[in-house]
Amino acid sequence: MLFRFIVVLGCIVMFINGCNSLISQNFGTHKLRTLSMEQVVRENIGDADYIEVSGAWQSGDYIHAPGGRTSKKPILIYPLLDRAQLTALDSNQVVQPAIVAWTEEFAPDCVEKKNCIERREFTLKGIVRNIPKEKNRSGELPASRYQLPENVIFVEVNKAPIAWYWNLAMMVGAVALAFALELRSFKRTKPVNNNL
């Protein structure tokens, strides 16, 4: 009885999660929002969870964080700037990056060569997601160059929300599992009709 209750409760949670994500991808925070880096610096990103930002500049500075206990993969952490901030940085001014990007996808030998992040302009696309605590070394960015604002945005680069069909599969699977479990339970407890 307890097992059945826990499974059905899990199915309800899975169904709600899949439904919420499916709706959010089409109408809510998981829908791709397109912004310019100047907009992000000036206005922030609102409630967006999935963003594409044009005109983002990598300054060439980055932090390498090795893997931890729970997440073995190392990551790169680097600030993103708009053109005006990059010019200010070149004039030896301290800047406040609106976005700190991070990724697990990089060539391992770049750390030794010290060329993991090149200075360039690019279009950022990714999910707004905090860096895992044990790997968050964003505070180690040089204080003489960067000051992280309180509302800094962490973005995992080149990541997207789960595809809509997986959310739909999660919903259908949860309903099917709960229905099958309840049907089985009903058949076991169904009284036997004795025709006398």
Q: So where are the chain's domains?
A: 31-157
| pLDDT per residue as tens digits for the range 125-163 | 999 999 988 899 999 999 999 999 998 999 999 987 777
| pTM confidence score | 0.74
pLDDT score for 196: 47
Residues 6+ apart with CB under 8 A from 165: none
SS3 157: strand
Give me the residue label for tokens 């809510």.
28
Mean pLDDT of the chain: 85
pLDDT score for 20: 65
With contact defined as beta carbons under 8 Å apart, do 127 and 50 qualify?
yes
The three state secondary structure string of 138-154 is HHHCCCCCECCCCCCEE
Q: Does domain 31-157 have CATH number 1.10.8?
A: no
